[in-house]
């Protein structure tokens, strides 16, 4: 099942390249069909998932390179399940948004589907080499999508993004090999299987540099402050449909990497550097929000807001307790929904007005009442209004940080910084919403229309989810909780010398 979910988009992407460029109807049908099929299958997995089981489910494994015992091995637990469904959901929406792409539609959709496949593979891979291959596969389509279809300083943006990410990836590959060697020395068994490697005791000195290599690869992808400098360039240059997958799903692969690799494999290093990483994440939360207030370009505003929200996710993960980590996983889903909806809104505004500059926008609300309602709901979710999904994740994360052992020396400061960023969020979100929607504007185009059926169809699922998760997050947390608990207890039992409990609760 998982193999189908991952490979339907990839096979469709390859098939698209053999279709004649002129046959746009067939190209659109095939792309939508592939993204839709992948999404429906992921819903089946969500439906059949046994929420009481903390381990990996739907596992499929085939030996791939028998000499090195590298396997094609996939599976999902509660942590990756929601991210898998989120990715297929957002990819479907992104494909819908790209259907009226003028420039070279066929190649654009093929690359979008390849990007979806790479991201899905990262969330499902259970073999470190397979994980690495999918991790690199995400990079290639992104490079071309921003470089060819982007705007502004797109070549600069995409080059910077690729150089940053490649450095991280290569360091991660070195660490992957090192862990396997460490495991081999201890057991004389060659394996790249994540679930086996998690139980390997690595001596603290090696843990430090391996952790650092992994952490860097993931921290660049999230991005964690101060490794964020590629993000505003890439996001502002990126076409909107690509941005939906980039911000909604791909930015979560880094945070997922922290959970899947950094925490269970390197507990001593996490103890050593946790506070420092927490400080970097908290700084990013405030920094992103503060810079967002100063932005006039709506796309840049949402990009900096993203840095702030992703800082929350990192902070929650390194709180290293169940509230913090569960809040982070839920917040990954929430941020994916809210941020991609915001970028779609920016795209709609730009399509109607020909600009995204706040100075030139005012008074759209009068001519676009339906759009006004959707925009307002998504704005309130982004600033963390109780009763909407943004609040639930942030609240859990701040609770986790407040009660965290690892961050205890600084927990009050971090919570206050988080609170400050929420105040800033209210400022920049309302500034964005009121700047575009309120007041009267004599210069509005006469033929300004409200959102059409397709735009409504793209925004409505986000609006429904924002309200549903905000009022009733239980079904999501029920699926995440057992896996998070098992992740945090692997850490207690296996990797620590016996008889020494570091007070994880």
68 lies in some domain: no
172 lies in some domain: no
Q: Please, which residues bridge with residue 125 across strands?
A: 74
Using the 8-state DSSP alphabet, how is residue 127 labeled? B
Using the 8-state DSSP alphabet, how is residue 497 labeled? P
pLDDT band at 498 (very low <50, low <70, confident <90, very high): very low
What proportion of the chain, given as a percentage, has pLDDT over 70?
A: 97
pLDDT tens sequence across 313-341: 999 999 988 899 999 999 999 999 999 99
289 lies in some domain: yes
Domain range for 368: 271-505
419 lies in some domain: yes
217 lies in some domain: no
Sorted by sequence, the CB contacts under 8 Å of residue 345 that are 6+ apart come out as 371, 374, 375, 378, 459
pLDDT tens sequence across 244-280: 999 989 999 999 999 999 988 888 899 989 899 999 9
Tokens of 351: 């399509």
Task: Tell me how many domains the chain contains.
Answer: 1
pLDDT tens sequence across 438-488: 777 777 777 788 888 888 888 999 999 999 999 999 999 999 999 998 888
pLDDT tens sequence across 96-136: 888 887 788 899 999 999 999 999 999 999 999 999 999 99
Q: Please, which residues bridge with residue 74 across strands?
A: 60, 125
58 lies in some domain: no
290 lies in some domain: yes
pLDDT band at 501 (very low <50, low <70, confident <90, very high): very low
472 lies in some domain: yes
The residue with greater pLDDT, 433 or 499, is 433
* CA-CA-CA-CA torsion sign (420, 425, 430, 432): positive
Q: How far apart are CA 468 and CA 466, in angstroms?
A: 6
Q: Coil, strand or helix: which one is 57?
A: strand
């Amino acid at each position: 099942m998982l193999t189908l979910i991952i490979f339907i988009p990839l096979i469709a992407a390859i098939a698209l390249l053999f279709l004649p460029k002129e046959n746009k109807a067939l190209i659109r049908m095939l792309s939508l069909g592939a993204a839709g099929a992948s999404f429906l299958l992921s819903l089946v997995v969500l439906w059949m998932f046994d929420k009481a089981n903390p381990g990996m489910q739907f596992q499929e494994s085939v030996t791939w390179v028998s000499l090195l015992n590298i396997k094609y091995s996939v599976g999902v637990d509660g942590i990756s399940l929601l991210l898998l469904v989120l990715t297929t959901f957002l990819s479907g929406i992104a494909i819908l948004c790209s259907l009226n792409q003028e420039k070279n539609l066929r190649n654009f959709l093929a690359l979008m589907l390849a990007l979806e496949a790479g991201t899905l593979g990262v969330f499902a891979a259970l073999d470190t080499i397979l994980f690495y291959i999918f991790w690199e596969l995400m990079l290639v389509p992104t490079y071309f999508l921003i470089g060819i279809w982007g705007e502004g300083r797109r070549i600069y943006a995409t080059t910077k993004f690729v150089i940053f990410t490649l450095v991280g990836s290569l360091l991660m590959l070195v660490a992957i090999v090192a862990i396997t060697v460490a495991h081999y020395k201890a057991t004389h068994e060659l394996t790249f299987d994540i679930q086996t490697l998690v139980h390997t005791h690595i001596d603290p000195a090696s843990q430090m540099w391996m952790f650092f290599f992994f952490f860097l690869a993931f921290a660049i992808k999230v991005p964690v402050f101060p490794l964020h400098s590629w993000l505003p360039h890439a996001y502002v240059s990126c076409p909107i449909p690509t941005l939906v997958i980039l911000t909604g799903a791909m930015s979560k692969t880094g945070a997922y990497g922290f959970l899947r690799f950094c925490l269970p494999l390197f507990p001593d290093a996490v103890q050593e550097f946790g506070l420092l990483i927490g400080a970097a994440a908290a700084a990013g939360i405030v920094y992103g929000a503060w810079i967002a207030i100063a932005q006039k370009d709506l796309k840049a505003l949402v990009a900096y807001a993203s840095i702030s929200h992703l800082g929350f996710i990192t902070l929650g993960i390194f709180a290293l307790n169940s509230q913090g980590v569960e809040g982070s996983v839920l917040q990954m889903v929430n941020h994916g929904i809210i941020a991609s909806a915001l970028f779609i809104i920016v795209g709609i505004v730009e399509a109607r007005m020909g600009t995204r500059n706040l100075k030139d926008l005012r008074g759209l609300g009068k001519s676009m009442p339906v759009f006004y309602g959707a925009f307002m709901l998504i704005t309130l979710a982004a600033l963390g209004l109780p009763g909407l999904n943004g609040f639930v994740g942030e609240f859990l994360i701040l609770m986790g940080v407040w009660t965290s052992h690892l961050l205890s020396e600084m927990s009050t400061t971090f919570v206050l910084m988080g609170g400050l960023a929420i105040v800033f969020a209210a400022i920049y979100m309302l500034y964005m919403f009121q700047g575009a929607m309120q007041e009267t504007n004599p210069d509005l185009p006469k033929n300004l229309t409200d959102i059409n059926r397709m735009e409504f169809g793209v925004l409505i699922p986000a609006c429904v989810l924002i309200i549903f998760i905000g009022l009733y997050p239980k079904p999501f947390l029920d699926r995440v909780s057992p896996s998070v608990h098992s992740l945090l207890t692997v850490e207690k039992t296996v990797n620590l010398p016996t008889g020494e409990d570091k007070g994880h609760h």
